[in-house]
Structure 1
Amino acid sequence: MSEEGRRHLGAIIALVLGSFVGLTLLPIDLTGPVGRWLGTTLWRLLGVGAVGFPLLGLAVGLAGFDRLPQLDMKRAAILVSGLVIVVPFIIGVLADVRPEAFDSTDIAPRLTGVVPGFAAYYVVGGIGPAGGLLFGFVSLSALTILTIAWHPLMRWVGTRDGGDALDGKVGGAVGSRTGPATIARTASAPDEEEEDLVAPPPATRREKKPKKPVRTSDAPLGDLADDSVLPPIDLLTLPPAQEGDASGAELDRLGQVLVETLRTFKVEGSIAGRTTGPVVTQFEVVPAPGVKVGRIAALADDMAITMRAQSIRVAPIPGKGAVGVEIPNPTARMVSLRELLESGEWEHTRGTLPIALGRDLEGKPIIADLAKMPHLLIAGATGSGKSVAINTIISSLIYRYTEKQLRLLMVDPKMVELSMYNALPHLRHKVVTNNSDAANALKWA
């Protein structure tokens, strides 16, 4: 079962359990003896806090189906579970509930419950009613800040200059509507709002402002007098010495198997050459006279099954009278980031925001320019390398520019991938994990 399927199943179970507990709290008998006992016990122990259990199931269920934008399932459970205790506790402090009143029919002890009531009694006995209320206020604030990044004094928090509503939260965070190129947009002075820096691509908004000088692709980002140093390359791991491309004998055998497989399907041809990469080898198959290229391409899936390969790609090779058949190597070679950053292609690239992506079919390093990708989407199945790609892009940028030349804004609502970068000096603000803060940060940028 996929992660999303497990989350949805958990959400359904939470909704069902919450509905059942909610029915046990009703004055009518709909859940049998088990429900009557459960409802009576919850009312007595938690008072009005018992209502939190059906709300807990509802909140966890909605969060599991992504219906609560500011909460995930874990934080929803923490929030409601905390309110189950904090709210009756505050009622007990206000009503001055005492242990001997729990067996009475008064409304205040029934609303407070035994557990929050005893807690309120002992807290008030130690620090008084005023101290008890302050303790409840602090507990409520800590709970809401931990889960939804809100507290009762939020309205008292002011902003600077009136215009930058998120300036105190995401001070100097970088970004714009043009995507990756904004990483270089506000990168020169970390302690002030840099609006006079040269802009990468032309802005799409029409504003009556003095035209900014255009920076060439080989001009450095940020402060020219930057005395910071780049991280040492020794922080990156070298690839194991024993790793390498597939041996010639293995590839010769693989080519022979390819020819024999084609003959099995009544297609004659010969191997004219091959190009070997870290993961895939491209064989140049010269078809016999009268054999159409489309016939070989149509056999790609059949050849993959016969050769026990995960997949096979077939395409004509431009400029050659041959068909390229790409087959996974018997043993794939891991491409490390360090070997790409130590390559000549990386040293001589003139891109504004160069990123190392890997090696091509011929084993040559692939160095792209992030500034030429105004909209970049990384997608793929589980385990296909999305997280590795994101970490590689970030690492490439910080190995190219110092914190005075480059500023980053990171948003990670799931708190899974980017939290490790909180200590990165290139960040103008810690990784944004709250959805509302993320929206405000993007508007600010």
Structure 2
Amino acid sequence: MKHPLNVTSEIGELKSVVLHRPGKEVENLTPKYLERLLFDDIPYLPAVQREHDYFADVLRNRGVEVLYLEKLMEEALKTDELHQQFIDQVLNESKSNLNGSRQTVEEYLHSFSTDEMIRKVMSGVLKSEIEPEKKVHLHELLDDYYPFFLDPMPNLYFTRDPAAVIGNGVSLNKMCEGARKRESLFMDFIIKHHPRFSQHDIPHWYDRDEYYPLEGGDELVLSREVIAIGVSARTSAQAIEKLAKRIFARNGTIKKVVAVEIPKLRAYMHLDTVFTMVDHEKFTIHHGIEGPNGNMKIYILEKGMDPDTLNISERSNLTQTLKEVLGLQELVLIPCGGGHEIAAAREQWNDGSNTLAIAPGVVVTYDRNYVSNDLLRKNGVEVIEIPSSELSRGRGGPRCMSMPIYRKDL
């Protein structure tokens, strides 16, 4: 039986990808709780769904199998035991809002069918939607300033971050922010219990119960032998070291992990918001991540003499480092917004550098980033634009919205 996971590059022909179509969780955003839930604005649900459907159709029209997170999850929870186990784990990880109401919420979740329960967990449980006669505690009957028993998960349509496939293994990520910590629970259950994956010995390069945060937007597979990981606002250096040691111990192909430090700003949330690979020797970049004279803090991690050690060497120039680790003679860095002081900042904010390569030299981008898109085309890259007026409000682009699980080898 063919192994279900294979990602040995950023640009190999994309064959299978996991998406999540935005749902009711987006409508459960309100201005008062935007910061808590990591949004800057409230997308209009019918429009954001139309845009996401267009994105999915673009991929299907290019021969990509589109798998939906919610459907995979439903197919994974095929026994009463797993159904109960999932609800238990969700409630355990949501205890800060339950305030003694666990039994009430548990009974409420059990009143739904499996697919409805999964969507309810994703969209959040409002205190007001549980009938008064089912509230058995005084505090449940009193008005409360906070409206949710279970917070919604509006960031879930960015499937890139909670888990990432590297080679034939998976990184089940410890999400940095509280609003997103439960998101990796879905892929954890899918990998362990869905028949497509559970029959295979799938290495875990990282696990969601680790101490240090790591997110998929910072994980880039540059080649069979090299991965790059951003040291960012959401991913720690300690997590990168731990992942590197596990990969070197169990994957005989990957030889180098390139750790790239980027400014810890919301605008530069992950490495893929400022840097992506679009062809064998072509990359997008937002030059705001570079210091004076183009200098950066870059570290190459390689296997040490024993499993618990790493050899770490420092570099300062991204172009030279990429040439070195990828064995390239020439390399093209395509600047977001053409490097213009206004266009670059505007288009980076709208994920002009967050491209999804579906084949070498073929990328999906947001239509709003017309300066960056034009420059990509001038550099010989085929650009497929998708509408983005509502999708972009979540501060993530096509790469953020996709979790590739299978690419053809280059």
TMscore range, shorter length = under 0.3
**Higher helix share goes to which structure?**
1
TM-score scaled by structure 2?
A: 0.20
**Higher strand share goes to which structure?**
2
Highest RCO, 1 vs 2 (Cα 8 Å, sep ≥ 6)? 2
Larger Rg: 1
